[in-house]
Structure 1
Amino acid sequence: MKRVWLGLAGLCLCCVSAQAQDFGLSEVRVGVQSHDAYNGFLPFTSENYRFNGITDLSFDVIFRSPEVDAFRWIGSPRPRIGATVSMQGLDSIAHAGLLWQLPLGDTFYLEAGFGAAINTGSLGETSLPHRRFGCRVGFYESFGLGANLSANTTMTLTYEHTSNNGYCEYNDGLSNIGLRLGFKF
């Protein structure tokens, strides 16, 4: 299964890099994540952190915000798709949604994303370190603090979380923290 996820990630990156402008591509990000680094939704309390090393690879494909009134009314978010793939055979996710970015001067920015994710985790009973997702599809949220390293390069410290918000019998969720290098088009 790991090879399938890596193959899909590589194929997506090759395709979008070759036709970036035709697809309305804004940025491609690749990075590393600490798998299941926080037990909860928002990372506010320090006792819930558990860093077990860098074990996941992640990528995002971010498009330009469409020039339509509906997008302008909600702050001109950029559509994106992506995935976080566990390199240790643990739970992996693929996600799609919208990404809002707030510049903090010329160099730094804050961002927040919301959408949906599918997971490869257990829907029922399992043992740690695997998670009991309960549903194959759940919500996806992300938050980031980033820097424009150059006109075409970014670096973003990212927190991502997926869960089903209690809509299924189990709702362990998954929260990863990592760093992504971005390439703008």
Structure 2
Amino acid sequence: MRVGKAIGLSVLIASLGAAGAFAAEVKKPALTQPSLLSEFRFGFSAQDPWGAEGRDGSANLTGEILFAKPFTPSDLFTSYFIPRPHIGGSVNFDGRTSFAYAGLSWTVDLTPQLFVEGSFGGAVHNGSRNHVSTPADLQPLGCSPLFREAGSVGVRLAANWSVVATIEHLSNAGSCSENRGLTNVGARVGYSF
């Protein structure tokens, strides 16, 4: 009789333990899929301040979407080598060169608030392609598409908000007859998802 009670008590305790474990599993939040989008940035830039297109202070409205990394390694150092794909654009207010671009961005944290970023990709533009028919306030860019390189320094203001200063350069790298390039300098506000 005592053995039967002991077995019954053991079964009851095991059942309660299993029920508790099941309840704990049910209460755990479901894992969410990572978002496709990583960050959205918008701001302004000075159009080619050292060249023909920026002599009288022309400005651009800029926007960029950075997508999530295709995968994130557990090692922080290794994760710096995994880029985020991006797309963006720059619209000039004065009828000068506007462009759309796509590429890859590598972001490295220097501190929890301060980061640097490098980007590389390509751009298509609506600007002048040769010096023969180029007005004095436009830069002859040779061809389209162009290469686009950018370097940025950013500060995280809060969990989701940052401010980013960027210098970007568009050039055909000598693949066309004209290769004067276009360099813009600006600042953007970023919102991370």
- The answer, yes or no, to whether TM exceeds 0.5 is yes
1:60 corresponding residue in structure 2: 64
Report the count of equivalent residues.
Answer: 153
Unaligned runs of 5+ in 1: 1-20, 40-49
Task: Say whether the 8 Å CA contact 1:35–1:52 is kept in structure 2.
Answer: no
Task: Say whether the 8 Å CA contact 2:80–2:107 is kept in structure 1.
Answer: no
Letter in 1 for 2:60: D
Task: Say whether the 8 Å CA contact 1:34–1:52 is kept in structure 2.
Answer: no
Larger radius of gyration: 2
1:157 corresponding residue in structure 2: 165
Structure 2 residue matching 1:117: 3-state secondary structure: strand
1:111, 1:38 → 2: CA distance? 23
| Correspondent of 1:135 among 132, 136, 143 | 143
Structure-2 change in CA distance of 1:83 and 1:107 (3 Å): same
TM-score by length of 1: 0.76
Letter in 2 for 1:57: L
Deviates more, 1:60-69 or 1:90-99: 60-69
Q: Percent identity?
A: 36
2:174, 2:149 → 1: CA distance? 15
1:90 corresponding residue in structure 2: 96
Letter in 1 for 2:38: S
Unaligned runs of 5+ in 2: 1-32
TM-score by length of 2: 0.73
Q: How far did 1:128 drift?
A: 2.2
Letter in 1 for 2:65: V
Counterparts of 1:1-185 in structure 2, within 5 Å, are 24-39=36-51, 52-53=56-57, 55-67=59-71, 75-124=81-130, 125=132, 126-185=134-193
1:59-104 deviation digits (Å, cap 9, x = unpaired):
00000110289xx698111000000110110001111000001101
The ranges of structure 1 where at least 4 consecutive aligned residues each deviate by more than 4 angstroms after the TM superposition are: none
